[in-house]
Structure 1
Amino acid sequence: MTTDSSISVGIFDGFSWIRCEGKGSFLNSPTLKEFGDERIAGGERCLVVDLEGCTGMDSTFMGTLAGMAARLTAQDEAVLQVAEPGARNRRSLEDLGLDFMMEIDPPEAPWRGKTDQVRTRLEAPRKVVPGQLQRTIHVLEAHQTLADANDKNARTFSNVVTMLESELAEKQKLAETGDK
């Protein structure tokens, strides 16, 4: 499967940077999640997600962002910040209430005025290509995170979560019978 998007990353003094070019989707969100989780586990206090080049985000990508934001805010003085989302992506995040979990274009951010310099120093991370079972788990976790964010999302994503839970149970059952 190919995507018309890419993720690039960098580690800087005081923050780590993740840039999405093209569409943010279920295809590239595992790579986003792995880098973010590694940085959080390593003690990073500020993850910046650069959406200036992002043409749109699906619910799995936004759920992945919300999950990273939740893991960061569980720590003292840690935050996920969104840089230059553009009107469409900002509206998508706000429509799901995710602007309460992350800072969107914060005016006092340590990276303000340095975005061009930061972008020239980004690299491709290790690409994550999950198998079918792992992909289903990832998509389910992202949608559960969205559903847990607020009551409106719980109603919006309840059918998706139920369908993904059934799909996961079926795939796990097939994997178990295949192992015997």
Structure 2
Amino acid sequence: MSLENAILVGVFDGFTWIRCEGKGSFVTSPVMKECAEARIAQGERCLVIDLEACTGMDSTFMGQLASFSARLSKLGASGGVQIAGAGERNRNSLEDLGLDCLLEIDPPAAVWRGHASEVRANLEPYQLGHPPGTLDRAKHVLESHKVLSAANAENAKKFAGVVGILEKEVAEGERKSD
């Protein structure tokens, strides 16, 4: 990942802040996923995803946001996934896929309200433990699109072709690796 596309993270009292700088894409989302999953495994129940410096999001990235929400919801988390600094373009992208029902976008009563600048000043780059190979990347993209498809019927129709192609690609990759 380049300096133009980075995931920054900070752990604060009551939440973990994950900032996407540059494009939120299938390239940056494995880094965000590893970071979020590690924090959830350590007991975090509120993830704040900062999109203030995010120049746009692809469906894989948005599918990961939805997957964090689903995972925290299963755990009975009270904080869930909050989006900070969505901006009009990113808010529209999330709303177009119906994700505004799963994510709290710029919640007015969030514990971090009024402290976002201070939080952003205390973030560190997150380094991926190991870059995903071709098969792992295909599995990641497939998982994201399955989550989006499960979010609502319109998404299921929209992503049916992508899911079908990715399922075949993953199955073929797994056969080759056996």
TM-score, L = length of structure 2: 0.95
* Equivalent in the alignment of 1:152: 154
For the residue of structure 2 that corresponds to 1:47, the secondary structure is: strand
Amino acid at match of 1:102: L
* Equivalent in the alignment of 1:94: 95
For the residue of structure 2 that corresponds to 1:148, the secondary structure is: helix
Cα shift at 1:74: 1.6
TM-score, L = length of structure 1: 0.94
Amino acid at match of 1:82: I
Query: Superposition pairs for residues 34-73 of structure 1, below 5 Å?
Result: 34-73=34-73
Distance 1:78 1:155 in 2: 30
Distance 1:4 1:151 in 2: 35
For the residue of structure 2 that corresponds to 1:158, the secondary structure is: helix
Cα shift at 1:2: 5.5
* Equivalent in the alignment of 2:125: 124
Amino acid at match of 1:49: I
Distance 1:50 1:143 in 2: 22
Distance 1:99 1:161 in 2: 22
Q: Which runs of 5+ in 1 are unaligned?
A: none
Cα shift at 1:41: 1.4
* Equivalent in the alignment of 2:169: 167
Cα shift at 1:80: 0.2
Query: C-alpha offsets along residues 23-82 of structure 1, whole Å, 9 cap, x if unaligned?
Result: 000001001001111111111111000000000000000001110111112222131000
Distance 1:2 1:166 in 2: 31
* Equivalent in the alignment of 1:110: 111
Distance 2:73 2:3 in 1: 31
Q: Provide the alpha-carbon RMSD of the alignment.
A: 1.2
Distance 1:28 1:50 in 2: 14
For the residue of structure 2 that corresponds to 1:121, the secondary structure is: coil
Amino acid at match of 1:38: A
* Equivalent in the alignment of 1:139: 141
For the residue of structure 1 that corresponds to 2:111, the secondary structure is: coil
Distance 2:2 2:22 in 1: 12
Distance 1:3 1:28 in 2: 12
Distance 1:63 1:3 in 2: 23
* Equivalent in the alignment of 1:13: 13
Amino acid at match of 2:169: E
Query: Does residue 84 in structure 1 map to residue 91 in structure 2?
Result: no
Q: Which runs of 5+ in 2 are unaligned?
A: none
Is the Cα–Cα contact under 8 Å of residues 18 and 48 in structure 1 kept in the other structure? yes
Cα shift at 1:126: 2.1
Cα shift at 1:4: 3.5
